Chain A
Amino acid sequence: MTATQEKAARSPRNRLVSGPGILLVWLYGVMSVGAVSRSIYQIATEFDRAPLAYGLSAVAAVVYVFITYTLVRGGEKARRAALVCCAAELAGVVIVGTWTLVDPSAFPDATVWSDFGYGYLFIPVLLPLTGIWWLRRTRAAADA
């Protein structure tokens, strides 16, 4: 890391929760709480009914919590980690969304990412796109 990058990492510009970032953190926080409580409840009470669906919901929950944490923490390392997770999240939504449409019989109950997040107003598919845009933009601001 060069001196300028180091300086950028410490400057307030690289805070990931300023400006539009605060809205992003809020939405990721909401999705975290939603996905975590949903998967805890489903795994605790009726896991055998749809293990694949509930397992995938739990994975989604972990991803959301991690992204929320990295956004709040801020800094260059967290920004990169969040970027990777947003990409993984987007891939997850696309794969699981397609999977639920192609092979509905594998999913007796819905996951957070079923049908590309239809049950959550498509927020699961919009959020990573916004997240990637924001995280790339904050780097551009820090480099400038």
Chain B
Amino acid sequence: MLDALTVAVSAAALALAAWCGFAAFRDQSTKDWHFIGMAVVTFLVLVQLVVGIVQSVRGEKAEEGTTIFVAYLLGALCAVPIAGFMSLAERSRWGSATVAAGAVVLAVLEVRLYDIWTVG
């Protein structure tokens, strides 16, 4: 369940990064549709956070410790929304580039989350 979510969030984050990166390439600021995309990605991360906490409470142990696991889940939740707010302050291609960078950061965090959770 959690692994599937991690893969889903990574894929969604990379898609968002490509989309906003394309907007930056075309010299466009973030539009309503981009914010809907950010909301979808953030919602997936929120689901992941809840599932992760529930599984930890039920007694499943993250390989590298629960503290690090939850800290990364919270960090992953914040990445895209904060980048989104910054793109509201910077209505240019650079706002779009910031959201793209935020989505890449999220994808990296997901890879780390996978390592932290998985035994091995």
CB pair B71 A23 closer than 8 Å: no
B68-85 CB contacts (< 8 Å) to partner A? 68, 71, 75, 79, 82-83
Say whether chain A's binding surface is mostly helix, strand, loop, or mixed.
helix
For B89, the closest partner residue in chain A by CB is A22
Asked if A59 is at the interface of the complex by the 8 Å CB criterion, the answer is: no
Q: State whether B71 touches A37 (Cβ < 8 A).
A: yes
Please tell me if B48 contacts chain A, counting CB pairs below 8 Å: no
Which residue of chain A is the closest to B99 with respect to CB atoms? A26
CB distance from A91 to the nearest CB of B (A): 25
How far apart sit A109 and B77, CA to CA, in the bound complex (Å)? 28
Query: Once the chains bind, are B83 and A121 in contact (CB under 8 Å)?
Result: no
Query: Contacts of B86 on A, CB cut-off 8 Å?
Result: 22, 25-26
- Among A25, A30, A41, which residue has its beta carbon within 8 angstroms of that of B105? A30
Specify which chain B residues have a CB less than 8 angstroms from the CB of A22 in the assembled complex: 86-87, 89-90, 94-95, 98
Instruction: List B contacts of A17 (CB < 8 A).
Output: 89-90
Query: Is the C-beta of A33 less than 8 angstroms from some C-beta in chain B?
Result: yes
Given A25-B86, A26-B101, is A20 in contact with B94 using a C-beta cutoff of 8 Å? yes
Any A CB within 8 A of the CB of B62: no
Task: Look across to chain B and name the residue whose beta carbon is closest to the beta carbon of A21.
Answer: B94
Inter-subunit contact A23/B67 (CB<8 Å): no
A37 to B102 alpha-carbon distance, docked (Å): 18
Query: For residue B83, which residues in chain A have a CB less than 8 angstroms away from its CB?
Result: 26
Q: Chain A residues near B90 (CB, 8 Å)?
A: 17-19, 22
Q: A22-B89, A26-B83, A27-B101 given; name 7 further pairs at CB < 8 Å.
A: A21-B94, A23-B101, A25-B86, A29-B82, A30-B79, A41-B68, A41-B71
| 29 chain-A/chain-B pairs, Cβ below 8 angstroms | A17-B90, A19-B90, A19-B92, A20-B94, A20-B97, A21-B94, A22-B86, A22-B87, A22-B90, A22-B94, A22-B98, A23-B94, A23-B97, A23-B98, A23-B101, A25-B86, A26-B82, A26-B83, A26-B86, A26-B98, A26-B101, A26-B102, A30-B79, A30-B105, A33-B75, A37-B71, A41-B67, A41-B68, A41-B71
